[in-house]
């Protein structure tokens, strides 16, 4: 019978579709849409961070993003015009929400900006790698290939800032969540509007050395709380909006 063979083929095709990277582009226009939205967000968010961040390394990074992504955006717009493709004029809903989070941050923009940049560059590298390999437009494939090393460099830079800079999350419940001068900051976890998704929260907690992260819920103070394992022991764990991961927090 041919039916089982057909069903098996359909199952294989479906599996291949779902195996594609979440941020891959399936057409030239799709790539332009996603790359433009990401590039615009890089510039707009970095303009906010350059003016309001506390950590000089974050400010310097933001300035570089404005220069590098500004140039890449202009190049992409030129290529898209030549290829008769449409350039989006506004950010998508997700990037608009992230930008609003930075605009309304009252005290410390460093940590949310750094985390957004980590996420954005991870997505951008995936998008550009995929299109450079399998894209359907020669000029855009060349653009993706030529831009990819810069994106990877940005990704490495922001990861180092996240780990070593003032914007790095703390893992001690007695360390102030924000480094400032002449003020007393509350111990982490710090209440505040939390822009981390559940998956991002889980990843941040795992990055801090925890495993078996489960039962994550965001409380009315904007703090993600759940259970995890570290050093072979089960413990309660919390993640605040600044990225601070605290073990044993109630």
The answer to whether the pTM exceeds 0.85 is no
CB 31 within 8 A of CB 83: no
Residue ranges and CATH numbers for the domains of the chain are 22-164 (1.20.1260.10), 170-250 (no CATH)
Phi-psi region of 243 (alpha: psi -120 to 50; beta: other; left: phi over 0): left
What sign does the dihedral 194-199-201-207 (CA atoms) show?
negative
Write out the chain's pLDDT in tens, 250 residues: 444 444 444 444 443 333 333 456 679 999 999 999 999 999 999 999 999 999 899 999 999 999 999 999 999 999 999 999 999 999 989 999 999 999 988 778 999 999 999 999 999 999 999 999 999 999 999 999 999 999 999 999 999 998 876 444 443 333 333 333 333 334 567 776 666 788 888 888 988 888 999 988 888 888 889 999 988 888 999 988 878 888 876 6
Instruction: Output the CA angle 108-150-118, nearest 5 degrees.
Output: 30
Q: Which of 37, 105, 119, 136 is nearest to 77 (CA)?
A: 37
HEC profile of 121-138: HHHHHHHHHHHHHHCCCH
C-alpha radius of gyration, the chain, whole number? 21
The pLDDT, as a whole number, for residue 170 is 40
Cis? peptide before 189, omega within 30° of 0:
yes
């Amino acid at each position: 019978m041919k039916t089982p063979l057909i069903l098996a083929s359909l199952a294989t095709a479906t599996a291949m579709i779902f195996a594609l990277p979440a941020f891959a582009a399936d057409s030239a226009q799709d790539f332009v849409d996603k790359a433009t939205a990401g590039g615009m967000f890089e510039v707009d968010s970095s303009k906010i961070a350059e003016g309001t961040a506390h950590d000089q390394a974050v400010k310097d990074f933001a300035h570089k993003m404005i220069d590098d992504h500004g140039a890449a955006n202009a190049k992409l717009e030129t290529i898209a015009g030549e290829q008769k493709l449409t350039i989006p004029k506004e950010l998508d809903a997700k990037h608009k929400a992230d930008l609003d989070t930075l605009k309304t941050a009252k005290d410390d923009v460093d940590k949310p900006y750094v985390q957004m940049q980590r996420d954005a560059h991870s997505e951008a590298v995936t998008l550009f790698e995929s299109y450079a390999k399998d894209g359907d437009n020669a000029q855009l494939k060349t653009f993706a290939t030529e831009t990819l090393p810069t994106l990877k460099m940005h990704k490495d830079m922001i990861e180092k800032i996240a780990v070593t800079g003032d914007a790095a999350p703390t893992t001690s419940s007695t360390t102030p969540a924000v480094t400032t001068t002449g003020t007393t900051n509350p111990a982490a976890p710090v209440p505040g509007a939390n822009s981390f998704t559940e998956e991002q929260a889980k990843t941040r907690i795992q990055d801090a050395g925890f495993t078996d992260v489960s039962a994550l819920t965001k409380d009315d103070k904007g703090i993600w709380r759940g259970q995890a394992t570290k050093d072979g022991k089960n413990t309660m764990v919390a993640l605040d909006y600044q990225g601070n991961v605290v073990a044993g927090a109630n």
